[in-house]
Structure 1
Amino acid sequence: MPAPARGRPRDRGIDARVLTAAVDELAEKGLAEFSVRAVAARAGVDRRGVHARWPDPEDLVVEALATLTANLEPPATGTLRGDLERLVPDIADALSGARRRVLQRCLDEVAVAPAVTRRFRRDHLDRCAAVVEDAFHRARRRGELTAATTPAQATEFLMGALLLRALSQGDEAVGATGRRTVLEHVLRLTAAAAPDGA
Structure 2
Amino acid sequence: MTDRERVPGRPRSKDADAAVLAAALDLLIEAGVGAVGFEQVARRAGVTRATVYRRFPDRTRLLVAAVEAAFGDPPAEPEIRDVEHVLSGWAHVLSDPRTRRLLRRLYGAMDDVPELARAYRVRFGEPRDRARAAVFERARARGELPEDTEPQVLLDVLTGAVWQHLATRPDTATAAEAERYLRAVLHQAGYRPGGPYPPAPEGR
Aligned-partner Cα distance in 2 for 1:127–1:113: 22
Give SS of 1:32's match. helix
Aligned-partner Cα distance in 2 for 1:115–1:22: 16
Q: Which residue of 1 aligns with 2:59?
A: 57
Aligned-partner Cα distance in 2 for 1:87–1:118: 21
Calculate the aligned-residue CA RMSD, in Å. 3.1
Is the 8 Å Cα contact of residues 106 and 116 (structure 2) preserved in structure 1?
Answer: no
Q: Where does the alignment leave 5 or more consecutive residues of structure 2 unmatched?
A: 1-9, 199-204
Aligned-partner Cα distance in 1 for 2:140–2:15: 44
Q: Which residue of 2 aligns with 1:74?
A: 79
Is the 8 Å Cα contact of residues 133 and 155 (structure 1) preserved in structure 2?
Answer: yes
- Do structure 1's residue 154 and structure 2's residue 157 form an aligned pair? no
Aligned-partner Cα distance in 2 for 1:169–1:29: 20
User: Which structure 2 residues correspond to residues 157-168 of structure 1 after superposition, within 5 A?
Assistant: 157-168=157-168
Give SS of 2:196's match. coil
Aligned-partner Cα distance in 2 for 1:158–1:145: 14
User: Which structure 2 residues correspond to residues 5-154 of structure 1 after superposition, within 5 A?
Assistant: 11-69=13-71, 73-76=78-81, 79-81=82-84, 83-93=85-95, 96-154=96-154
Give SS of 1:179's match. helix
Identity of aligned residues (%): 28
Q: Deviations over 1:41-95 (max 9, x none)?
A: 211123333333333421221222234559583132xx433x32442234324xx
Structure 1 pair 122–29 and aligned structure 2 pair: CA distance change class (3 A): same
Is the 8 Å Cα contact of residues 100 and 167 (structure 1) preserved in structure 2?
Answer: no
Q: Where does the alignment leave 5 or more consecutive residues of structure 1 unmatched?
A: 1-7
Q: Deviations over 1:21-44 (max 9, x none)?
A: 101221344223421222122111
Please report how far the alpha carbon of residue 111 of structure 1 lies from its aligned counterpart in structure 2 after TM superposition.
3.1
Structure 1 pair 137–51 and aligned structure 2 pair: CA distance change class (3 A): farther
Is the 8 Å Cα contact of residues 32 and 112 (structure 1) preserved in structure 2?
Answer: no
Aligned-partner Cα distance in 1 for 2:42–2:131: 34
Is the 8 Å Cα contact of residues 80 and 144 (structure 1) preserved in structure 2?
Answer: no
Aligned-partner Cα distance in 2 for 1:191–1:148: 12
Q: Deviations over 1:123-164 (max 9, x none)?
A: 333333233223223324444332221111121222221221
Q: Which residue of 1 aligns with 2:4?
A: none
Aligned residues, how many?
184
Give SS of 2:14's match. coil
Structure 1 pair 165–85 and aligned structure 2 pair: CA distance change class (3 A): closer
Q: Which residue of 1 aligns with 2:6?
A: none
Look up the equivalent residue of 2:14 and give its one-letter code.
R
Is the 8 Å Cα contact of residues 67 and 116 (structure 2) preserved in structure 1?
Answer: no
Is the 8 Å Cα contact of residues 94 and 100 (structure 2) preserved in structure 1?
Answer: no
Q: Which residue of 2 aligns with 1:5?
A: none
Is the 8 Å Cα contact of residues 165 and 174 (structure 1) preserved in structure 2?
Answer: no
